[in-house]
Amino acid sequence: MPSPTPITYVFSGQDEPGLREQLASFYESLGEHSALELNTTQLDGTLVTVGDIEAAARPVPFLADVRLVVVEDLTASANSRAILEQIPSMIAALPDWTRLVFVEAGLEESSSGKRGGRQQTLKKLINLVENDPRGKVLAFDTPRDLPRWLQERALHHQATLDIAAARLLAECVGGNLVLADTELAKLATYTAGTRAISKDDVALLIPYSAEANIFRMVDALGQRDGKTALTLLRKLLDAGDEPLRIFAMFTRQYRMIIQMREQLDSNQSVQGASRTLGMRDFIAEKIASQARQYRMEQLERIIEILLETDVAIKTGKLTGDLALEEFVARLSRSARHN
């Protein structure tokens, strides 16, 4: 009779710090470390075959209760879909002592976009394991409220994070939770548990990401502060950021603002707009505050200026640096005249 204990697992999601922590706890639950280490096989999912998994999983464990096989990033393999076709019959035949673990850190079943192919493969893998009587899926999804997640995560580093510091750190790291966890460890070491981590600590120790500077530039432009916007732009360029990448971030930011303006104009709440647009709550709040600084006709004019700037760069009329500076200057003038 098959064991009721799960033998096949999927650990997936964009909350990689949480995922890795839970994975380590799972490994600890399987037995004494040195014995488990002798019976563990790590496989590169981008290169693995079903035969590799079977060869690693079938042997009787040596001086231990389980044999652990860990497959990382199967969904990144060019042959992942073909492998998935063989997985149901393979896992059905695995012995009870096997613990087969698929790790897909940084991916979410519900994600979309350029990585859509991997998400579809992940969804199929999750369905296969969930539908197996000896399968178990553990999901570590992106937190919708990143500042709150940061405050909770700080406790893992024996630190506390005040809300203003959490919001600033969220801006600095964007959606990179691994980076966020690293920076929290740095901040926890700096404050050494003597006090809560403050906004000033974050400003002192954590460099702003390009995305955070784009937020600040758009804030400055919305407040008719062209001088600050140009200073922030020059900071990005001096740091070596590619002009085309900066321009792409500007374009993305204003498209999000237009989408939010449309939601607000239709009497949608920020929370409702967050769900409709698929934004994290703290991002939606910031986008909404920026959207409120513009009328829709102003935003439409900004999109026209973005298009004209794009043409100027691609036709060689202006270098990337000059085109961006002119873009910011034009938006400053446009804001003052509206």
Mean per-residue pLDDT of the chain = 87
Q: Does one domain contain both 63 and 93?
A: yes
Look up the CATH number of the domain holding residue 218: 1.20.272.10
Q: For 47-95, how does the pLDDT look when each residue is reduced to its tens digit (9 = 90+)?
A: 999 999 999 999 999 989 999 999 999 998 888 888 999 999 999 999 9
The beta strands (E) that lie in 181-316 are given as none
Tell me how far apart the alpha carbons of residues 48 and 204 are, in angstroms, rounded to a whole number: 45
Other Cβ atoms less than 10 A from the Cβ of 295: the count is: 12
Please give the C-alpha separations between residue 37 and each of 8, 25, 97, 240, 261, in angstroms, as whole numbers: 18, 15, 15, 44, 55
> DSSP state, 107?
B
Q: Does one domain contain both 184 and 251?
A: no
Q: For 253-266, how does the pLDDT look when each residue is reduced to its tens digit (9 = 90+)?
A: 899 999 999 999 99
Q: Does one domain contain both 24 and 102?
A: yes
Kindly state whether residue 1 falls inside one of the protein's structural domains. no
Write the single-letter amino acid at 47.
Answer: L
Q: Does one domain contain both 306 and 225?
A: yes
Tell me how far apart the alpha carbons of residues 40 and 61 are, in angstroms, rounded to a whole number: 9
Structural contact between residues 174 and 209, judged by C-beta atoms closer than 8 angstroms: yes
Look up the CATH number of the domain holding residue 162: 1.10.8.60
- pTM reported for the whole predicted model: 0.65
Write the single-letter amino acid at 69.
Answer: V
Q: Does one domain contain both 311 and 298?
A: yes
Please report, rounded to a whole number, the percentage of residues in the chain having pLDDT higher than 70.
Answer: 93
Domain boundary residue, one of 176, 205, 234: 205
Tell me how far apart the alpha carbons of residues 174 and 16 are, in angstroms, rounded to a whole number: 14
Q: For 201-236, how does the pLDDT look when each residue is reduced to its tens digit (9 = 90+)?
A: 998 888 766 777 788 888 888 888 888 888 888 888
Q: Does one domain contain both 97 and 68?
A: yes
* Phi, psi (degrees; rounded to nearest 5) at 105: -75, 140
Q: Does one domain contain both 98 and 199?
A: no
Write the single-letter amino acid at 157.
Answer: H
Kindly state whether residue 55 falls inside one of the protein's structural domains. yes
Q: Does one domain contain both 274 and 314?
A: yes
**Pairing mode, strands 98-105 and 67-72:** parallel
The beta strands (E) that lie in the chain are given as 8-13, 40-44, 67-72, 98-105, 135-139
Q: Does one domain contain both 161 and 99?
A: no
Kindly state whether residue 260 falls inside one of the protein's structural domains. yes
Look up the CATH number of the domain holding residue 23: 3.40.50.300
Structural contact between residues 257 and 294, judged by C-beta atoms closer than 8 angstroms: yes
Kindly state whether residue 3 falls inside one of the protein's structural domains. no
Kindly state whether residue 299 falls inside one of the protein's structural domains. yes
DSSP β-bridge partners for residue 42? 70
Q: What domain range is 311 assigned to?
A: 210-336
CB-facing half-sphere around the CA of 266: CA atoms within 13 A: 9
Kindly state whether residue 166 falls inside one of the protein's structural domains. yes
Domain boundary residue, one of 85, 106, 139: 139
Q: Does one domain contain both 177 and 224?
A: no
Q: Does one domain contain both 233 and 258?
A: yes
Q: Does one domain contain both 63 and 167?
A: no
Kindly state whether residue 227 falls inside one of the protein's structural domains. yes
Kindly state whether residue 303 falls inside one of the protein's structural domains. yes
Q: Tell me what pLDDT residue 1 has.
A: 42
**Polymer length of the chain:** 338
- Average pLDDT over every residue of 134-146: 90
Tell me how far apart the alpha carbons of residues 120 and 189 are, in angstroms, rounded to a whole number: 40
Write the single-letter amino acid at 266.
Answer: S
Tell me how far apart the alpha carbons of residues 282 and 146 are, in angstroms, rounded to a whole number: 7
Tell me how far apart the alpha carbons of residues 56 and 284 are, in angstroms, rounded to a whole number: 47
Q: For 177-188, how does the pLDDT look when each residue is reduced to its tens digit (9 = 90+)?
A: 888 898 999 999
Domain boundary residue, one of 139, 160, 181: 139
Number of structural domains the chain divides into: 3
